[in-house]
Amino acid sequence: MLETLRGAIAYMREKQLLHKLGVALSVAIIAAACYILYTMLQDLDLDDLYGALRDTEARTVIMAGLCVAAGYFTLTFYDLFALRTIGRSEVPYRIAAFAGFTSYSIGHNVGASVFTGGVVRYRVYSAHGLSAIDVAKICFLAGLTFWLGNAAVLGLGVAYHPEAAASIDKLPVWLNRFAAICILITLALYVIWVSIRPREVGRGNWTVTLPGGSLTLLQIAIGIVDLGFCALAMYFLVPDEPHVGFVVVAVIFVSATLLGFASHSPGGLGVFDAAMLVGLFQFDKEELLAGMLLFRVLYYLVPFVLSVILLSLREFIVALRAKRVAAALRRLDEAAKPQSAHGSRSPAS
């Protein structure tokens, strides 16, 4: 059975069916999101939207901003965990934090975060002796942490409150709960699987040893904390009335985030927003949209601008240091030339 599955996957890779399927899925998600947004925002009152933005309390924005900052702080441990897993413990936390923060904040905004985040990471880590293969392993392990955390949050949340997921996928409540229980069982089986003995994925130099059982639980915890803070930021920004529990907002937020990620659109633009509007239909449209706009500013725009500034400063400092080293080498070379010329002169006969 396993060999048959591997053969099917190899055939699909050879024919690029997986790539084509992924592109078709992305296009379908974006098209559906555009249609939903067009339908739901036709009668949008811009004055009411502006009024909702203006009436948002500063305390609410500050609390949401602190949650976003805590979420990005947690994101830095994705890279630190990955570095320790591949045996590169000599790389200090500050470098892992810088690479993690900048790669995620830029990847979130530009889209295709696997590629864009990998490029940023390589630029940072290559200065500390890491190869492209090392960076690829870091990206894989960080992505694994992200997906394990998502699976845990979505599984627990939907199992507890399946009606929240049903508001987005329109499936029966019992089916959503069954799917959530299946996710949790799969997660538990994965933890048991990596606990029995060391597991490896990949081939040759690209082989990655998966974290064991206890470390996998740590991965899941990091992912849960990250997503929890992000969902809490969104929870602060949704309207107060009618009251909706945090679990409902968290389930819809994570579902919308995953849909946006699957679409590969920059920042999940359009897809995330459509899913949130559909899932939280009970809120006033203008007030909910105001909260979502503020969330985008806090979670996407501010970190993106900060990352661009930090990367630019880093490149300036690196270029300045390289220039100083080159100048010092030239001075040493010039100082050595007269001595060499004097030493090569033969004494007069």
Tell whether 158 is covered by a domain. Answer: yes
Tell whether 348 is covered by a domain. Answer: no
Q: Output the six-digit token pair for 196.
A: 């029995």
Tell whether 130 is covered by a domain. Answer: yes
Tell whether 200 is covered by a domain. Answer: yes
Pairing state between β 200-201 and 208-209: antiparallel
Q: How far apart are CA 155 and CA 72, in angstroms?
A: 23
Tell whether 311 is covered by a domain. Answer: yes
From first CA to last CA, the distance across the chain in angstroms is 92
Tell whether 49 is covered by a domain. Answer: no
The DSSP-derived string for 221-289 is HHHHHHHHHHHHHHHHHS-SSS---HHHHHHHHHHHHHHHHHHT-GGGTTHHHHHHHHHTTTS-HHHHH
Q: How far apart are CA 334 and CA 324, in angstroms?
A: 15
Q: For every one of its 349 residues, what pLDDT tens digit does the chain have, with 9 covering 90 and above?
A: 445 544 544 544 555 565 667 667 667 777 776 767 667 777 777 888 888 888 889 999 999 999 999 999 999 999 999 999 998 889 999 999 999 999 988 887 776 666 777 888 988 998 888 998 999 999 999 989 989 999 999 999 999 989 888 888 888 999 999 999 999 999 999 999 999 998 888 888 888 889 998 999 999 999 999 999 999 999 999 988 888 889 999 999 998 888 887 777 777 777 888 888 888 888 888 889 999 999 999 999 999 999 999 988 988 888 888 788 777 777 777 777 665 555 555 544 4
The DSSP-derived string for 291-327 is HHHHHHIIIIIHHHHHHHHHHHHHHHHHHHHHHHHHH
Tell whether 101 is covered by a domain. Answer: yes
**Structural domain of residue 207, as residue ranges?**
59-316
Specify the residue for token string 């200065």.
127
Tell whether 186 is covered by a domain. Answer: yes
Number of domains in the chain: 1
